[in-house]
């Protein structure tokens, strides 16, 4: 076997030389490859978000205009400037350092969704012809704008005026409020027993806007049951429940929109 080794040794040296060159080439190539760049870019982007939003970061630019584009549309219908400022201000006041770009984009998407929702609602309101009863139209969109963060798993954005520090505190306060509303309306919902059978399987959804003084500022049927009487009875239950428990001050909300689903069982 030994005679065979010699030529191999020379080949081994040559091969290791080639291997070295190839490795160098590979390393160089890899450093130019876009894939690892993204991996590295991530911490870069991460760093960007760490910077205070007040600084005009280049990364921010593409995102802010998106908001600006979206805002003017709802403004046309129900709301004026204050809302626009509100949104921008809120974005600025999101000093969550752990937030990634993705999350930021996500919340922006929520904002867009919310804005889209506002537009839908504005249209609905017109249909409902209840605009006349609403003097301060701006209030409703503000509620919807401040609320989407609440839907985020992390409950990132607290309302500006809220005195509650943690999201869970706010959540439990809300739950408490909703359960009081639930109890009050349920207590007022009555149906003659002899009608219950005729109403089996029906569902009516009424949306109400409650206020800080427990009044119902707005009320409309979102889903009719197909049985006028059943719808009437649902509306009547809500009317009878007025005044409702006032919105807790700690929540910092002037109005809250709540859907009430009436199911006979």
Partner 1 sequence: MLKKIILIFIPICLTFTFSAEARVYLDINAPTLIQIPIVLSKWKNVGKTPATLSEKVYEILANDLTLSGFFRVIDYQHLPLDLQRKEGIPEVLFLKEWMPAGGEILLAGETFLDSAGLNLRLKFHLFDLVEQKHMVGKEYEAPLQNLRAMVHRISDEVLLQLTGEKGIHNTKIAYVSLQTGNKEISISDFDGANVKQITNNQSINISPAWLPDGKKIAFTSYLKRNPDLYLTDREGKNPIRFSYYPGLNASPSWSPDGKQIVLMMGIEGKSDIFLIDANGGNPRRLTRGHGNEASPKWSPDGKQIAFISDRSGSPQVYLMAADGSDVRRLTYEGSYNTNPSWSPKGDRIAFCGRVGGRFNIFTIGTDGSGLQRVTSNSGDNESPSWSPDGRYLAFSSTRTGGSKIFIMHANGLNPRPLTQAKGGESSPAWSPRFE
Minimum CB separation of residue 255 from partner 1 in Å reads 12
Based on CB atoms, which residue is closest to partner 1, 19 or 154?
154
Query: Residue 106: helix, strand or coil by DSSP?
Result: helix
For 244, phi then psi, to 5°, come to -85, 170
Render the burial of 214-250: b for 16+ CB within 10 Å, e for the rest: eebbbbbeeeebeeeebbebbbebbeebeebbebbee
Burial class (CB in 10 A: 0-12, 13-18, 19+), 108: middle
Task: Return d(Cα 194, Cα 198) in angstroms, integer.
Answer: 8
For residue 102, the minimal CB distance to partner 1 (Å) is 13
Smallest distance, partner 1 to C-beta of residue 201, A: 12
Residue 74 beta carbon to partner 1: minimum distance, rounded to whole angstroms: 14
Q: Which is nearer to partner 1, 16 or 179 (CB)?
A: 179
CB nearer partner 1, residue 91 or residue 115: 115
Comparison of 74 and 148: residue with beta carbon closer to partner 1: 148
CB of 147 to partner 1, least distance (A): 3
Residue with Cβ nearer partner 1 (37 or 179): 179
For residue 212, CA distances in Å to 72, 172, 175, 217 come to: 29, 18, 16, 10
Tokens of 215: 């009044």
Cβ proximity to partner 1: between 110 and 212 the closer is 110
Question: What's the closest the beta carbon of residue 264 comes to partner 1, in angstroms?
Answer: 6
Residue whose C-alpha is closest to residue 135's, from 220, 78, 207: 78
Q: Which residue matches tokens 């249909």?
A: 127
Within 10 angstroms of residue 112's Cβ, the number of other Cβ atoms is 16
CB 188 within 8 A of CB 240: yes
- Per CB under 8 A, residues contacting partner 1 are 110, 113-114, 117, 143-144, 147-148, 150-151, 153, 171, 174-175, 178-179, 181-182, 185-187, 189-198, 205, 207, 227-229, 233, 235-237, 239-240, 256-265
Task: Assign 163 to helix, strand or coil.
Answer: coil
User: For partner 1, which is the closer residue by CB, 198 or 213?
Assistant: 198
> Two tokens at 39?
């991996």
Smallest separation (angstroms) from partner 1 to the CB of 206: 10
Tokens at 122, concatenated: 């504005």
């Amino acid at each position: 076997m030994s005679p065979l080794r010699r030529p191999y040794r020379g080949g081994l040296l040559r091969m290791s030389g080639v291997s070295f060159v190839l490795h160098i080439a590979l390393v160089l190539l890899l450093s130019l490859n876009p894939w690892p760049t993204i991996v590295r870019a991530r911490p870069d982007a991460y760093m960007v978000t760490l910077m205070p939003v007040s600084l005009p970061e280049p990364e921010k630019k593409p995102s802010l205009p998106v908001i600006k584009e979206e805002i003017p549309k709802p403004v046309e219908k129900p709301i004026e400037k204050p809302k626009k400022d509100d949104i921008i201000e809120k974005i600025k006041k999101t000093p969550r350092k752990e937030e990634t770009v993705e999350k930021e984009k996500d919340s922006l998407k929520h904002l867009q969704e919310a804005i889209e929702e506002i537009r839908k609602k504005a249209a609905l309101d017109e249909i409902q012809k209840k605009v006349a009863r609403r003097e301060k139209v701006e209030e409703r969109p503000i509620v919807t704008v401040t609320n989407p963060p609440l839907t985020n798993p992390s409950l990132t954005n607290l309302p500006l005026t809220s005195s509650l520090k943690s999201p869970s505190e706010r959540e439990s306060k809300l739950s408490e409020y909703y359960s009081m509303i639930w109890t009050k309306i349920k207590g007022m919902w009555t149906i003659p027993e002899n009608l219950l059978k005729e109403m089996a399987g029906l569902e009516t959804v009424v949306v109400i806007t409650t206020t800080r003084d427990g009044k119902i500022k707005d009320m409309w049927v979102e889903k009719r049951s197909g049985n006028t009487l059943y719808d009437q009875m649902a509306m009547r239950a809500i009317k009878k429940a007025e005044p409702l428990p006032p919105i807790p001050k700690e929540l910092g909300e002037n109005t809250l929109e709540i859907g009430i689903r009436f199911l006979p069982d």
